[in-house]
Structure 1
Amino acid sequence: MNYIVISPYYPQNFQAFSLELAKQGITVLGIGQEPYEQLDQPLKEALTEYFRVDDLENLDEVKRAVAFLFYKHGPIDRIESHNEYWLELDAALRTQFNVFGVKSSDLMKTKLKSQMKTYFKKAGVPVVPGQVVTKKADVAQAVKALGLPLIAKPDNGVGAVATYKLASQADVKAFTEQWNEETAYFFEAFVNSNQICTYDGLVDAEGKIVFATSLIYTEPPMSIMQHRSDVAYYTNPKIPKKLEGYGRQIVDTFGMKERFFHIEFFQEADDYIAIEYNNRPAGGFIMDAYNFGYSINLFEQYARLVAGKDFQPSNYPAQLALTVIRRDDKTYHYSETQILEQYKPQLKARLRMPEAFAALQGNDLYLLNANSEQDVKDMIKTISQLA
């Protein structure tokens, strides 16, 4: 089996995909921008061949790289980056070379927020009303139809980037004046909830869910961007029954196969409102948090599925896995030395966030296991306490 990994070097923690695929006897072929000399030694050893391109954004150049690897190694069975940024490139390459997985025609339902909402409705999951806006002339009509406050976000966008809360006519005017109409926006009714959770997991080649968990954020991403607050989130192994039901209905409706998924929800009282379907693993170091919390190696388990083997669940009881990230420009009550000493038994990793994520998420990441939500709250309070 030949498996092409797009951008095998970055992000660094996702190098584990290549390493585990190689351990399963799969021929791993890499296409990336970094010089071969820059690759970590374990990654070099996992890759049968690495083809460097000048620019991964250049579709024709990447297609030529795939064609060369096809000519040299035979038919390509998988093309994957597991990275939000390259999802459209992955799909275009699969379409061009008729490779198993999501094709370009399948992608829009997981890239366009307007399309996602249609599929959420098909799944019978609560959503808020929304409308696509492509011209400034359409803004007033959308505001009239949806009412204020509302959220304006790129229809094809990632997270809370370039997202605006329009709470007044002054906000609407400011947005309209600065918007250049190059990006279609999706307007939707504002949900007054500070609780965001997820239904995340992995499906096999038949679309069956083989692993599932839930992630709880202490603050919405948009609020984090606005206030530059510290980021904290934790896994919840005891997935609420209603949330799991919604999640399974959504996974069935979207119909993806042999992929990770990361579905975001607002929680309102005892119900949930679907926000976004991400057709990829959760970003940052969340995969590592899952591995520590569940005593499992999801990189390995994914590779087993690709190799046609069964998923092997963990034999150990799950714990809550907490991630807290502090910022360089803040002064904290407890020093890093004190934090590392106090939580030595619970601390699983201390990591530095890549610069690409630092502005949104922060700089120094602490990953800990906990036995209860009260432990989680105490840890967040201590680690994030300012001087």
Structure 2
Amino acid sequence: MSEHIRDVLVVNRRRQELVTRILQDPDLRLSLITEPGCLADYPATDAMTSVTLVDDIQNLDEVRRAVLGLMDRYTFDAIVGPAESSIPTAGYLRSYLGMPGISFDVAQAFCNKSAMKARLRSAGLRVARSTLAPLDGSVAPFLRRHGLPAVIKPAWGDGAANVHVVRDESGIADISRLGGPLLSNDKAPFVIEDLVEFEEEYHCDGLVRDGEVRFTAVSKYLGPLLRSKGSVFGSYTLPDDSAEAKELAELHGAVVRALRLSDSVTHLEIFRTSEGLVVGEIACRPGGGGVPQTLLRAYGFDTWEHFLATELNNSLAWTPRPANGTHLWVMFPVRRGVVSRVPDADVFTDVAAVEQLTIKVRPGDHIGGMLYSTSMAGMAHCRVDSPDDVPALVRALSERFTVEYEQPQAAGAA
């Protein structure tokens, strides 16, 4: 244990990866700001220095006042925000208090999808045409003004949560009604974008230090994200020396420079269209799903360790250790209903490419509520010789991993 124990303030809803790591570090003391409805997600509040509840962690003034009250008792060495819902708040607090780390201006550019697109567009990077619907009541008229087909999502949403495709007038009526799939889960502002026609989608995951991209891993999704809900989903690494990976890594660097990121990890989504590459969105936090574990297996790159280091303003010596082969994660879908049967744990024991299988559901589980892009029945981590081997493996795994339900999925459920 070091002579100086650092006090860390974590602003967070439910993301647990960094909370767990901070609590396990004897040189760190954790103070938490969260919302009442999220408190049950924290099993170790007795190990925290303090726990403060606010109505909304995205209410900057409410959180600011709570932090000023805490500062009467504690001197914080670092402020940590682990997800889109709290990264801007953490940035605002750093800017307000003059603390090191991602500032509010940069955090806003990464987490406010409207601001992000505006900044990328001004830097000359290709993004989808977008419109901001400022109020809940603006959804229908602004969708008509923007034109269809379109994608609508919360300006401050987490990942792919609550993202909807609207194709016609009936879709406008459904998506704009109170209690509908959009407004029951989030509130305005909403970003409306052109529905980009593409067949290939990628992600780049990087490490940025002192304003320079020190590492980039390029991966390709098994299928487009928006079309993968309810079906098998995942991604696989591309060879670093391939022309495809080099082209995408170069675009990743341009996006990082445009948003003026100094220190963090990144997760960038890119589409390949008939007219070239189009930037989707970028986050200054680790990717979700099976991305972190795949990067650890493929490169020895622990995205959460590096993210925490940048949040704590620590230097972390690391050199990529590329492993042989193509690494992939395959996520098996889950749907609403009551689970009646799941595959046995040994379902893939005779498949040499499958190195790890995690099953997330059990018979009797009730599946309901909002299903996210990362909602799953299970996940397999695999390694094959080359990207050419991926499609056949995914087909074989999909045929074997089936989940049965006692109750059918409700009509019209997403």
**1:36 & 1:177 partners in 2: Cα distance?**
31
Q: For residue 102 of structure 1, what is the aligned residue in structure 2?
A: 102
**1:253 & 1:383 partners in 2: Cα distance?**
40
2:371 to 345, 359, 363: 359
**1:63 & 1:380 partners in 2: Cα distance?**
48
Alpha carbons of structure 1 residues 183 and 383: separation in structure 2 relative to 1, 3 Å? same
Report the secondary structure of 1:341's partner residue: coil
> Is 1:78 paired with 2:92?
no
The alignment's TM-score, normalised by the length of structure 1, stands at 0.78
The alignment's TM-score, normalised by the length of structure 2, stands at 0.74
Q: Which runs of 5+ in 1 are unaligned?
A: none
Q: For residue 262 of structure 1, what is the aligned residue in structure 2?
A: 267
Q: For residue 187 of structure 1, what is the aligned residue in structure 2?
A: 192
Return the offset for 1:69: 6.4
Higher helix share: 1
Amino acid at match of 2:202: C
Alpha carbons of structure 1 residues 246 and 285: separation in structure 2 relative to 1, 3 Å? same
Alpha carbons of structure 1 residues 202 and 69: separation in structure 2 relative to 1, 3 Å? farther
Listed as ranges, the matches of 1:23-34 within 5 Å are 26-31=27-32, 34=39
Check whether the contact 1:295–1:318 (CA below 8 A) recurs between aligned residues: no
Return the offset for 1:138: 8.2
**1:7 & 1:213 partners in 2: Cα distance?**
28
Q: For residue 201 of structure 1, what is the aligned residue in structure 2?
A: 206
Check whether the contact 2:354–2:383 (CA below 8 A) recurs between aligned residues: yes
Return the offset for 1:338: 4.3
**1:334 & 1:35 partners in 2: Cα distance?**
28
Check whether the contact 1:16–1:299 (CA below 8 A) recurs between aligned residues: no
Listed as ranges, the matches of 1:176-325 within 5 Å are 176-178=176-178, 183-204=188-209, 206-225=210-229, 228-238=230-240, 240-269=245-274, 271-302=276-307, 306=312, 308-309=314-315, 311-317=317-323, 319-325=325-331
> Is 1:371 paired with 2:379?
no
Check whether the contact 1:236–1:320 (CA below 8 A) recurs between aligned residues: yes
Higher mean C-alpha displacement, 335-344 vs 133-142: 133-142
Q: For residue 341 of structure 1, what is the aligned residue in structure 2?
A: 349
Alpha carbons of structure 1 residues 19 and 209: separation in structure 2 relative to 1, 3 Å? farther
Report the secondary structure of 2:226's partner residue: helix
Alpha carbons of structure 1 residues 342 and 300: separation in structure 2 relative to 1, 3 Å? same
Q: For residue 87 of structure 1, what is the aligned residue in structure 2?
A: 87
Amino acid at match of 1:97: L
Higher mean C-alpha displacement, 340-349 vs 3-12: 3-12
Check whether the contact 2:108–2:115 (CA below 8 A) recurs between aligned residues: yes
Deviations 1:82-135 (A, max 9, x none): 222322332233234322123334433223222111221233221222222336
**2:369 & 2:208 partners in 1: Cα distance?**
27
Amino acid at match of 1:276: E
Amino acid at match of 1:373: P
**1:342 & 1:332 partners in 2: Cα distance?**
25
Amino acid at match of 2:51: R
